[in-house]
Copies of this chain bind each other. A is one copy, B any other.
Amino acid sequence: MKQPTHVSEAVIRRLPRYYRKLDELERRGVTRVSSGDLSQELNLNPSQIRQDFNCFGGYGQQGYGYQVSMLRREIAAILGLTRKYRAVVVGAGHIGQALVQYYGFEREGFDICGIFDIKPSLIGAPVGSLRVLSADGLTDFVRENGVEIGIITTQKDAAQSTANKLAESGVRGIWNFTPMDVMTGVPVENVSMNDSLYILAYRLQQ
């Protein structure tokens, strides 16, 4: 993999879609794919696809296209999906509990090993194979277990303080499910469920 100087945000945001499509093709037994094929499947321009891949290196072969399994592996490596990550969920409401019990992410290498809340009535409650822990112990837990990702599923108004606490505890990235933009020193990815629903409402009017 070529070490690229700077890859634009737009390219990065397309990588997961490439990854998912290549994974699907590989499962279907497709061994070979061209930028033209992918452009049809993903509704993108073939030039753009080739440009995107060439940000990281030349994975194709003239006159042939790309080898599905190899390209999938390369993109997985670029995204950092070839290793495991420990994560904790802060906020044991419905969404927090749903994430713990959804095993899809574990299959992809994201291991949710703790769920926290401040509400006394929730502490100790079983969630999947875990039990809700008191948020008092969050910092120690993150440090002792080498947790790299903090998932925020608290109420909106607790989002910023939770983000601060997670960042101070040594988490390297934050996955934010609240509709609140948090500011921290570590990378934050917002799921933006609200925004997505608002945009759907907008489209229903058009």
Contact = CB atoms under 8 A, between A and B. Distances in A.
Interface of A: 12-13, 15-17, 19-20, 42, 78-81, 85, 93-95, 97-98, 101-102, 104-105, 108, 110, 148-149, 172-175, 179-181, 187, 189-206
A98 B94 CA distance: 5
A176 B201 CA distance: 14
Given A80-B202, A201-B85, A189 B194 contact: no
B148 A20 contact: no
Nearest to A14: B195
The number of times this chain is found in the oligomer is: 2
Contacts of A95: 95, 98, 102
A180 B80 CA distance: 21
A187 B172 contact: no
Contacts of A98: 93-95, 97-98
Nearest to A101: B94
B79 A202 contact: yes
A85 B205 CA distance: 12
Contact of A81 (B42, B148, B149, B198): B198
Nearest first, the 10 closest Cβ-Cβ pairs linking A and B are A16-B195, A94-B98, A187-B203, A80-B201, A189-B200, A98-B98, A16-B198, A80-B205, A94-B101, A95-B98
A187 B173 contact: no
B204 A199 contact: no
B105 A202 contact: no
B191 A196 contact: yes
A104 B91 CA distance: 15
